[in-house]
Amino acid sequence: MTATATTPGPRRARIPGRKAVLPWLFLAPGLLLALVFKFLPMGKGVWLSFFDVRPFLGDQWVGLDNYTRVLTDHRFQDAIGHTLLLGIGMSLGGIVAGFVLALLLEGQARSLKIIRTAVFLPVVTATAVVGEMWRLMYYPTSDGLINSGLGLLGLGPVPYLDNPDTALWATMAMGIWMLAPYNMVIILAGLAGVDRSLYEAAAMDGVSLWQRLRHITLPAIRPALGIVLTLAAIRGLRVFTEVYVLTGGGPAGSTDVWMTRAYTLGFTRNDIGGASAASVVLLCVTLLLTVTVNYLRKRGDVR
């Protein structure tokens, strides 16, 4: 739609036959790869979700059995709870921490730029590497990094990852640590767009810092916040690598999320049909969320 404005009309009319084929030649590699490695697996996943997949014996149509099996399985039900808790906790925690970081590190000074560069490191580090780092930081004995810090405060060592009560929170902390600097960059971009004269005017009116934040800064960066929240929520739903690397879903399934369950079902227990059904459920929820958010965003713009 926007392309109409940028592409001049006359070019369209020249040599119509060749012109019609040309774009498709350029699109072909991308479309082919997307088709074979994205859309075909998606279709296959939906298809397999209706079957009892038995290698060498032939697949058997079971209708919605896989879905009812997955949705009534108590480990999957637990996983829904963990996924939601982890997703919401990581998203909100990441945004609050990102906002605080952005407020702290906003500015043009060279030293601030260097600090921002350093603080951003968790984002460029591969999730698997972050997982290994945090496993060592959470080391359960008193000489682990975090536990030795606690020791300085006179608190005993906590076995973060080995205790079912703390493992999910420990995973969430790592997730927030990875997300916050990423959100910081987006929020910083939003903060840069705030009209400076508003701050000045507010200061002249004797408005408190809190009111200034609440009535000028927050409304100005609301669009940026909306995007950050949506991205985080969608990412939170399909969280896999973080959990898989850090805890593998344990101890006692206390950090099992939807995707680690599906992975175990499909690759360890070879229940391809059930795992496919679980993936399709997740895909539908993700698509639904994305479409709803886009719809709300568009409606908000029209208003």
Could you say which residues in the range 8-47 bind another protein, by CB under 8 A? 8, 11-12, 19-20, 22-24, 26-27, 29-31, 33-34, 36-42, 44-45
CA 291 to chain centre: 16
Member of 3, 15, 57, 153 binding another protein (CB under 8 A) = 3
User: Please, which contacts does 64-70 make with residues 24 or more away whose CB atoms are closer than 8 Å?
Assistant: 66/273, 66/274, 66/276, 66/277, 67/277, 67/280, 67/281, 69/274, 69/277, 70/265, 70/274, 70/277, 70/278, 70/281
| Residue in 55, 54, 49 with CA at minimum distance from that of residue 70 | 49
Interface mask (CB under 8 A) for another protein, residues 43-82, using x and -?
-xx--x----------------------------------
Q: How far is the CB of 154 from another protein (least distance, A)?
A: 19
Site for another protein in 205-234 (CB under 8 A): 209, 212-213, 216-217, 220-221, 223-224, 227-228, 230-231, 234
Beta-strand ranges (E) seen in the chain are 51-52, 60-61
Site for another protein in 81-100 (CB under 8 A): none
**Nearest CB to another protein, comparing residues 41 and 164:** 41
206: left (phi over 0), alpha (psi -120 to 50) or beta: left
**Residue length, the chain?**
303
Member of 54, 64, 81, 136 binding another protein (CB under 8 A) = 136
Member of 50, 139, 168, 171 binding another protein (CB under 8 A) = 139
Site for another protein in 262-301 (CB under 8 A): 262-263, 266-267, 272, 275-276, 279, 282-283, 286-287, 290, 293-294, 297-298, 301
Q: How far is the CB of 279 from another protein (least distance, A)?
A: 5
Dihedral in degrees, nearest 10, Cα atoms 278, 279, 284, 290: 130
107 binds another protein (CB under 8 A): yes
Site for another protein in 233-252 (CB under 8 A): 234, 238, 240-241, 244-245
Member of 72, 108, 208, 268 binding another protein (CB under 8 A) = 108
CB count in 10 Å sphere of residue 209: 9
The amino acid at 177 = W
Q: At what angle do helices 218-237 and 167-192 cross, to 10 degrees?
A: 140
Question: CA 220 to CA 193: how far, in whole Å?
Answer: 8
Interface mask (CB under 8 A) for another protein, residues 158-197, using x and -?
-------------------x--xxx--xx-xxxxxxx-xx
CB count in 10 Å sphere of residue 212: 16
